[in-house]
Structure 1
């Protein structure tokens, strides 16, 4: 299919250079922690870090519920089922921190999202990347790892009903069993495999909804070609929603490349914290706090998608 490469915004915009941004835990919303250890003012002292804000809930799905004051910044979103997400020094990457996700069961879900004040055209997306980590204490299916989402809007930059995403998962891009205990880097481009979480997007012949049991995968380039009038209103990373079992992991160095509209990389760090724990310390923390009652038995179930 012919893939358009001209990028537009919902308002006229000038080409933007690439930039790198450090995202500190103090920049997240100050929300409570359900099970990440003893916390005071959002700073967990338990199994998943000694500093950093985490969340238990922040409202519903979809960008329509996010105020303009929370645009152009990372916020905790869609946190349900006892899951948590926050920036802590547990499994630090590229500095003293990373964005840590923990979910106790298949009913859990947690996201970090960055919603743009000025959306850009889906037709201008070039690629992106992120670093991800799956902890050895996870007992959900071994193919499941944190996902990357392009959050879509209509031609005017308004959120589509129910929240609409194009979703990148490592398992559908050559990672059969997600490595545990070591950071991985996922890089995607127009040839990478994505799936759409609902029918608000146009699908190629034979491409059905994942949720109806169909064949729901296509290349990012083909999704763009069929939906060139849509916009990207944000990006997100997250875990859960349809996963089975418990998961602990992390994400860092999230990037996007929107061609002439610019590119960016976000590094998650803990403000005012210099020490990075040794791997042995992580293991002691997990054992000491009996991390959310995970069974150490691995399951071998087939992978399930995350919305």
Structure 2
């Protein structure tokens, strides 16, 4: 019996170590809560705390930019951006197309991330938000750029299918009247999705071969005992 157990354990170990761990979907939305102005309840036009939504695996950083330079925080708004409920938007008071929001997601050591999707909405269909632009490093490197209608009175969903990396960098705008919500990404342990090494495959084949050999040798013994 012990001769069978060891090959079984060897094969099982090889299978388990070669199986990729599943990525965990995380989502950042802007449901009203105490994450504005240093932990206060968010109200319309309140500044969102810079690290809101950070987890042990991923740190989040919010900010507005003007001509590519930092220009302040992002702000919270409850309703009016299409049919979205609770959004983040760039500097209030500016309708300049050079004003854009920036959200950076950084994976902690030992993890990697990829962007899946986000929603964009236009504030009461004002002219400068009927079309929104975005620039995204979705995790794997290589920026993706797009320009799309924001779909008022509903919203526009933007999806991605990219590889994993250390950082997601997202700019969107233009002007203050484009809001974002429901930012989704996957996070996983580094190397979790890697293809098994040749040595691992060899161990699996050897383990299953030993199991088959043990079963064949054991079959005549069982027949003799029955006789």
TM-score of the pair, normalised by structure 1: 0.39
TM-score of the pair, normalised by structure 2: 0.49
More helix by share: 2
